[in-house]
Structure 1
Amino acid sequence: MSLVLDRHALNRRRLLKTFGASAVTAMALPLVTGQAFAQAVFAQYPFQMGVASGDPWPDGFVIWTRLAPEPFEIGYGMPMAPVAVDWEVAADRGFKTVVAKGTAVAPPELGHAVHVEVAGLEAGRDYWYRFTAGKERSLVGRARTAPAAGVALDRARFAVVGCQNYENGYYTAYRKMAEDNPDFVFHYGDYIYEGRGNRVWNSASGPRENVRQHFGGEIYSLDDYRRRYAQYKMDADLQAAHAAAPWFVVWDDHETDNNWVGDIDQDGTDPKLFNLRRQAAAQAYYEHMPLRASSFPVGTSIQIYRRAAWGKLLELNLLDTRQFRTDQPCGDKQTACATLDRPEAEVLGRTQEKWLIDGLTASKATWNVLAQQVMMMDLDRDPGPGVVVNPDSWAGYRTPRNRLLKQIRDRKIANAVVLTGDEHQNFAGELQLDGAHPDARPVAVEFVTTSISSGGDGVDQTPEFAKIQAANPQLKFNNSQRGYAICDVTDKRWVTEFKVLDAVTRRDGALTTRIKLAIEAGDPRLVEA
């Protein structure tokens, strides 16, 4: 073992007592008064995966780490016993003024992950945090509390990221994003990819050698998922991005399996078997993300959709387009078919959809954000006389798509902005009930942010998508390079800056601004900034 621990300090019965019957308090497992932990002694550095913060509120945020001295070994270098982890939050980077501190439990049931919900802080300011286990100390992360509820703000500036296939490229974009010092980060999903390690992959231009490889085969068990998250999280550029700002995270498909929805996977696996995989994936996602106790997984279910505010300026509706969705139409093939108009089709499910519409209707924010995973524009991907849609996007679900957009239009939801990922390209467009026959006034605007690395080195625009853009009047911009977006928002104007890299197969990729696109408050039409 890499750790010497007093195994009598906290036995299983007392740990369950600490969890509580509903396990809700597992987010920041407190030490019961009188419990004594022996000094932890590690043979290897235990904070191999860095630190993270997330879900900022006006009075606090979540801070996260996970103890794993040997992440790829059986047992990841830890005993199957709980471990005490001290944490501190300070008002300055040097920790001269510590404003909150405590001790949490890293339980083996959660892979020795620690989630602490810090509260009682000042609104709208930076804090710094760190962890200590035994004599080992983590790196320092910067977090930020949300502004006070309803307060007017001059500005918010945040990043949009996602789709980070480890094999396809380096995380240079994350290092650059950290240097941008955003208020917060929205991660739209595909944090990991589930496939086996491969030396080569079949790109659009033929076989390409991966710059690095996944450890092991395709992942199914909880241990598999834990090792895959560890491989991603050990990347220093990703650690820098997490340490730079608090994140709001949602998942997409690859955190479980490509294009899964509900209890259906892409291979037609018996749902009873696939649900075992879903359960492992949900637990591993929670273990590795800075999520609150309200997202603690129960079986296959995990509470991904939730709402957050950034003063009066922004209301973020963080959505889940996987757990409650019906099967993709057209056999999940890019084509057109009669089932695109299925009346029973769902993307969000009726409960989440009602929650979203009720929240949008009640919102007093200047900008109402739908932060989600798959494209909402109904792009026709056949530039000729035919019709081709991506069935894994909202375009494959015309009934719920039209229902949602009509509600936004008819209820006069102010300044609705949809933030999306998944496509491994940048897109910006105006949302219409029928994109092929646009109305004079769009319903909302959508910004689709490209991948961090998925797809490897890109180009400015492929010939195919140049034709698709010309055939789709609602699509105003498209680019096929890797990178991220920075959203710079005031009460008068929203500007999205698409930042792109010339290469991700080299660590020295050059970052440039490809374009800045703007929306004026009250006018849902895109213009170049």
Structure 2
Amino acid sequence: MGLSRRELLRFGTVGSIAVLVGASAASSGRFCAPRWLGDPFSLGVASGEPNADGVVLWTRLAPDPFAPDGLGGMAQAPVTVEYEVAHDESFQQVVTRGTAVATRELAHSVHPEVTGLAPNRWYFYRFRAGSVISPIGRTRTAPPPGQPTARMRFAFASCQSWTSGFYTAYEHMSAEDLDLVVHLGDYIYERGWNRGREGMTVQPQFRDEAVDLPGYRLRYAQAKAEEPLRAAHAAFPWLVTMDDHEVDNNWAADAPGLGFDIYRIPALFRRRRAAAFQAMYEHQPLRIGQLPSGPNMHLHRRYAFGDLAEITMLDTRQYRSKRVCDDGEATDCADRLASDRTILGEQQRDWLIDGFARSPARWQIIGNQVAMGQSDYDPGPGTELGTDAWDGYVADRNTVLGAAADRDVRNLVVITGDRHHNYAADLRRDYSVPESPIVASEFTGTSITSGGDGADTTATGRNLLAANPDMKFFNAQRGYVRVELDHGLWRNDFRVVPYIRRPGAPIHTRASYVVQDRIPGVTAASHPDVRPDQASEPDTAAPSAQPR
């Protein structure tokens, strides 16, 4: 299983912990690299968690990334990994160097936290293990909190099922002019529900659902072996969180998700969750503060970008109440309105609300996994709601949106994943009161890959638009969302590809929506540009019964 945080602390010094978790370890002894039988940097490089004076760098040594034991073809011994950061891509102007130690306990991944960099500028970085040099990555630091900042551009994405199709959207994302990428969860899928890739074969080690550490490590390796994803990681710093498929479909705190197996047993599910969290840490550019402690992982945190924006990354899985209403099926019921039901947990909810008052940023952005706005799937007089999203946790939604209104949050925008659809919607303080004021905006992004090529208009989309007057836009193609904001305007571009079953798809902006400073709610920026390849198709999926 690897070492827990408590076990790491037994080593007694910060330096020892840094060696074991692959953080910077300049004063440690050197551990020689083996003679490589493959590319040790087969999973690429990444950076993340940028602040005004530094970033986290990441790589994992894996010369045989699909080795069935999940260890990437590495032996027991630790390996010293060197890194350097420079102003230029040719590394003639190196600004810092260091070493980190890749250990078997964390699958020979390293997470050096680089500090002492200048704010608000781009850097290049690379690693060396023995005589092999990694691909070059590019990253950037943030403007200092509160510093006047004219513009920010970022993209957000979610939901990438390897078996469903090709990661072509990331090829296009890599070519964008962005400061940051935000990933809102379902970076891996614990198993493959769909066989959508043209010409795909499934190796034996990927046939079963991931339930242990080798299984989750292999799922991350499968994703990171894809060149478009590696390119997007190398092009920009990332902020990441998780949703359900990093562990188990529709899991909630200590309660397993959908399905029937021995991992319904609470103790075994906690062991499974610990394995999933460790594999996530091993494969993402996360700080030591996100190092899991058994089945617990601290993922809610904030990222500031000058005086312009603050992104608050939420965790809507670890602390939520168990699902109600027929175990998450699409039906309305009184239990979802109970005042003690929570999707955030009391501590995280209070932390989120306290941040509303303290932040000086012009735009308050919530990085959120599951849809916050009401999503009624019944266009008639009834109400049909999925309870895996905030519709199943109404008290928390009302508390958060009410607090934003009471604290006069200047511009609150929620960015969301999970649904495999594009939405633009207004958020109301209390959906039980029709005249309740609009207090925020929500943009939900589609999947990178899931459930086929998608379509512009579906039966689900028509029902949602008919039943939810606050929803202004629906689209069910694949892609990502690009955001540009300045002090007066938020512009949201839904970037979509026409197909994912085969590689090489082009991309275009399907629609753009804006939010104006001090005017909550979304407005169309231009007429939708529907193309002939955007045909409609039937879509009768229930709102929460399907694997998302």
User: Same fold judged by TM-score > 0.5?
Assistant: yes
Report the counterpart of residue 263 of structure 1 in structure 2: 254
TM-score, normalisation: structure 2: 0.89
Report the counterpart of residue 470 of structure 1 in structure 2: 466
2:225 equivalent to 1:229:
no
2:237 equivalent to 1:246:
yes
Q: Distance in 2 between matches of 1:322 and 1:341?
A: 19
| Structure-2 change in CA distance of 1:519 and 1:440 (3 Å) | farther
1:169–1:210: 8 Å Cα contact kept in structure 2? no
> How many residues are treated as equivalent by the alignment?
510
| Structure-2 change in CA distance of 1:82 and 1:46 (3 Å) | same
Tell me the amino acid that sits aligned with residue 458 of structure 2.
Answer: T
Report the counterpart of residue 344 of structure 1 in structure 2: 340
Deviations 1:340-390 (A, max 9, x none): 112210100000000000011111110001111000011211111211111
Name the % identity: 44
Report the counterpart of residue 285 of structure 1 in structure 2: 280
Tell me the amino acid that sits aligned with residue 71 of structure 1.
Answer: P
1:168–1:210: 8 Å Cα contact kept in structure 2? no
1:90–1:100: 8 Å Cα contact kept in structure 2? yes
Tell me the amino acid that sits aligned with residue 294 of structure 1.
Answer: G
Report the counterpart of residue 491 of structure 1 in structure 2: 487
Deviation of 1:397 after TM superposition, in Å, equals 1.0
Report the counterpart of residue 28 of structure 1 in structure 2: 23
Report the counterpart of residue 271 of structure 2 in structure 1: 276
Q: Distance in 2 between matches of 1:128 and 1:426?
A: 33
1:287 is paired with a residue whose SS is helix
Q: Distance in 2 between matches of 1:59 and 1:435?
A: 42
Tell me the amino acid that sits aligned with residue 295 of structure 1.
Answer: Q
2:185 equivalent to 1:184:
no
Q: Distance in 2 between matches of 1:500 and 1:212?
A: 26
Report the counterpart of residue 402 of structure 1 in structure 2: 398
Report the counterpart of residue 357 of structure 1 in structure 2: 353
RMSD in angstroms over aligned alpha carbons?
2.2
Instruction: Structure 1: state its 5+ residue gaps.
Output: 1-11, 202-207
Instruction: Structure 2: state its 5+ residue gaps.
Output: 1-6, 526-548
Report the counterpart of residue 302 of structure 1 in structure 2: 297
Deviation of 1:198 after TM superposition, in Å, equals 6.2
Report the counterpart of residue 328 of structure 2 in structure 1: 332
2:55 equivalent to 1:61:
yes
Q: Distance in 2 between matches of 1:460 and 1:270?
A: 41
1:96 is paired with a residue whose SS is coil
Deviation of 1:79 after TM superposition, in Å, equals 1.2
| Structure-2 change in CA distance of 1:79 and 1:31 (3 Å) | farther
Report the counterpart of residue 374 of structure 1 in structure 2: 370
1:19–1:29: 8 Å Cα contact kept in structure 2? no
1:378–1:435: 8 Å Cα contact kept in structure 2? yes
Q: Distance in 2 between matches of 1:407 and 1:483?
A: 33
Q: Distance in 1 between matches of 2:9 and 2:16?
A: 12
2:499 to 503, 506, 529: 503
The worse-fitting range, judged by mean Cα deviation, of 246-255 and 14-23 is 14-23
1:167–1:212: 8 Å Cα contact kept in structure 2? no
Q: Distance in 2 between matches of 1:181 and 1:244?
A: 10
Tell me the amino acid that sits aligned with residue 336 of structure 2.
Answer: L
Deviation of 1:468 after TM superposition, in Å, equals 2.1
2:101 equivalent to 1:105:
yes
Q: 1:361-440 alignment to 2 at 5 Å?
A: 361-435=357-431, 438-439=434-435
Tell me the amino acid that sits aligned with residue 256 of structure 2.
Answer: D
2:24–2:98: 8 Å Cα contact kept in structure 1? no
Q: Distance in 2 between matches of 1:45 and 1:211?
A: 23
The worse-fitting range, judged by mean Cα deviation, of 444-453 and 339-348 is 339-348
Deviation of 1:18 after TM superposition, in Å, equals 6.4
Tell me the amino acid that sits aligned with residue 46 of structure 1.
Answer: P
1:127 is paired with a residue whose SS is strand
TM-score, normalisation: structure 1: 0.92
